[in-house]
């Protein structure tokens, strides 16, 4: 089956940039997604990228896709304490999720 | 719109008990799914449905049953609860199971099986 891998934890200082990385195995994915989960809540779609794109920018968020290496990253500029959450990447039409990266933002 | 609603929010069961986790959506979405979330393992797909009357198994279907008699509702049944089913369960829905399908998630049901 498909596999999606992420690092478990990232800690940054407020105002710094955060980069969350993800690798996946399913090269047939049409879209790749980033979801955000705040404590005690369900997941919310943060952004997505179409598989024929290399980069997508959406305000403070930048998604980079390297199809050759099957590597997806999410960059959050000017990270705020409100960005503290768990971030999941997901790929595949039936959505296989990575294990999630817990982002901690220190004031 | 209420979006995706789940009940109950919390549940404690004894081994061998059965129960149904409720999920409803008011967005007229065709696609609904159930996931379980365990620490460090992301979300794993249990069952999904692409429309009323149609269901299929996901990655971890054993011990769970589903039915989809209406577009709005997609209950998940635990037939005989086991401690390994202790988890947080999320229901999700989207307009279509393929393409750019933003999935809308419910708030989750935290289940403990003793």
Element (H, E) at B30: none
Whether B75 shows a pLDDT value over 60: the answer reads yes
In this predicted structure, the answer to whether residue B35 has a pLDDT above a threshold of 80 is yes
Q: How confident is residue B42, by pLDDT bands cut at 50, 70 and 90?
A: confident
Helix, strand, or coil (residue A91): strand
Beta-carbon separation of B44 and A95 below 8 A: no
Nearest residue to B72 via CA among B37, B12, B24, B34? B24
Q: Which residue has the higher pLDDT, B41 or B6?
A: B6
What is the arithmetic mean of pLDDT over B86-90?
97
Chain A contacts of B107, Cβ < 8 Å? 40-42
B107 has a pLDDT exceeding 90: yes
């Amino acid at each position: 089956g498909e596999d999606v891998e992420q690092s478990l934890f990232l800690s940054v200082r407020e105002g710094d940039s955060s980069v969350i990385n993800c690798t996946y195995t399913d090269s047939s994915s049409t879209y790749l997604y980033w979801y955000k989960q705040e404590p005690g809540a369900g997941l919310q779609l943060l952004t997505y990228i179409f598989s024929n794109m290399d980069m997508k920018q959406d305000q403070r968020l930048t998604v980079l896709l390297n199809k050759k290496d099957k590597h997806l990253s999410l960059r959050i500029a000017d990270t705020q304490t409100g960005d503290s959450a768990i971030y999941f990447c997901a790929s595949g039409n039936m959505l296989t999720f990575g294990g999630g990266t817990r982002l901690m933002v220190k004031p | 719109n209420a979006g995706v609603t789940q009940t109950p929010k919390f549940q404690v069961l004894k081994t061998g008990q059965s129960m149904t986790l409720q999920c409803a959506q008011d967005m007229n979405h065709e696609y609904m799914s159930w996931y379980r979330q365990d620490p460090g393992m992301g979300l794993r797909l249990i069952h999904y449905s692409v429309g009323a009357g149609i269901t299929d198994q996901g990655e971890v279907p054993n011990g769970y049953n589903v039915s989809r008699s209406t577009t709005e509702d997609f209950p998940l049944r635990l037939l005989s609860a086991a401690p390994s089913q202790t988890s947080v369960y999320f229901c999700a829905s989207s307009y279509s199971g393929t393409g750019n399908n933003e999935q809308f998630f419910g708030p989750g049901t935290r289940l403990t099986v003793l």
